[in-house]
Structure 1
Amino acid sequence: MLRELVERGGGLVTRAIAEQVVPEWTLRRACGGGDLVRVLPEVFVAAHLLKDRPQQPAIGRVDPAVGLRAAQAWADGRAALSHLSALATWGLCRPQAGDLLHLSAPAGAGIRSRPGVAVHRRQGLLLAPPHVVVRRGLTVTRLERALVDSWPLLPPGERRAPVIRAVNDRLTTPGRLVEALGAAPKLPDRAALRTLLARLGDGCRSPLEIWGHEHVFTGPGMPAFRRQARVRVGRRTMYLDLFAERERLNIELDGATTHGDPRQREIDLRRDALLATVGILVVRFAHRRLVHETDEVRRETLAILARRPAASGRGRRAVASG
């Protein structure tokens, strides 16, 4: 009976659930016989699911997905998954076995950190919407708060990706993230996150677009480019990386992964030809040139802009706002 209970729980069972169907000694015997391992107080996992990492606490030896469920079972309504554990649940980072698990709890909750699990006390936190939500069956802090909390925990080179992806996937907005950042005035490296959110608010949607915004396509002589400008040609809607509406110039920033892909190249050529039918010139700059030939790209852009005539009224009507 206990084995079936563990299998139904995906390899995990709590004492409270087990003792509803089997006597306490059955659970004790399963642990003594090596079938179950106690990974947190009152939470047990099938022994075969633990990896051979004797230097790690038991909770750090299980698969990350099992670890998240175990942490929630241990919290038992007293805390919610937060920080990087919440980001993993939102699908915005990939956890590894042995990663520290994070929970956030109201200030007066009777739960404290354990080996492998960090409990963060938060004044004013309510374990109900809108402070927490249910995602993939797990109770987690809101995405905006999870992104802000996780910012200083990630290596500097990996911090921006979850934020950019969350905005691109329309899981949140730069405005909501700015509001969440306002509630964390002492966040380490707060200025860098504030700058990133400003760039996303400007319409940048990739690290390359942010680079271009900061180093190439702003400053003297540059127009106020519209970023991710929505254009409709016939029945097709497209989004332009940077669009100088007066000059009818579209600057496209081609990431490193698109270089040398014949299929993507054909798609780009068809798109560029369609834009040409409404008088929009497309100029593409590869990742390598943007990063390593910044000054030359800037000079080329200014020269092209100087030679572009002002758009006609007919051409302007082909561009939708938004």
Structure 2
Amino acid sequence: MNERRDATTGAAWPTADGSRTDPATEAFLVHHNLLFTVVYEMLGSVADTEDALQETWLRWVKVDLGQVVDQRAYLVRIATRRALDRLRVMKRRKEAYVGPWLPEPLLTAPDVAEDVELAESVSMALMLVLETLSPTERAVFVLREVFDVGYDEIAAAVGKTPATVRQIAHRARRHVDARRPREAASPDETRAVLASFQRAVETRDLQGLLDVLAPDVVLISDGGGVRRAAPQPITGAGKVARMIVGGLGKARITLAAEPTVVNGNPALLLRVDGDIDGVMAARVEHARVTGLYYVRNPRKLTRIASETPLTLR
């Protein structure tokens, strides 16, 4: 049997004659970007998302399509179950992770940034909030609040009654609303603030950093035990600015920051002596940086060279 390789994930889907996929695989590919977005928002890991989608496809091709009324809903149900299985495994894995854990950054197309709802749902800031939910709460929140899936469909996906799902959704929404950014900055405002931050970092301007950082800014860096990173979040403009400027000064390195779009939001790609060092996403409120998320773990930088298509539909 021949294969068709998916351009987004690199996964190989079998085809009947090398040029035409079977109906089940064709349906899966039609909804692939949606399924990727759903599962990624639940997991925050590309490798685990791709594995969950591979398992979804393997189960989907065994389904009698003649008995399926809504293929999209059925696929989302399968993918959610696979994501829930992985969420429980990932929880144990994260407990052994070296240092803070951040979601894997995705280079995204401009149209993702233009979709305010989608851009917020995949932002580093919100995905970190979702990390504080239980696996079931996270699945219910993502399906209901982000993708507007009906309670009956969610109940079938997570193995709960619709009444229970409503309660979980209410609890998860209240939890997230209490922790999500209150004043979401526009992309233009975020880009302007990041430009000021970029200039201050590249010139090692301590006062410039203090001017652009909020007093209670939090810096979270993820090196995964592979690259150096702060073992705990750093809080406070003074501490964050001194750590950035002090670290650069001691290293005597050439640092360049390149504007990019990560997870639908303006971000910076940082290069040290010409080599990629990491991706820095930011949360901006009231024209100040309130959150910095620096992913240095090279295993998490596999999706910053080419755009990953995401969609809510």
Task: Give the TM-score of the pair, scaled to structure 2.
Answer: 0.30
Question: Could you state the TM-score of these two structures normalised by the residue count of structure 1?
Answer: 0.29
For the pair shown, the structure with the greater C-alpha radius of gyration is 1
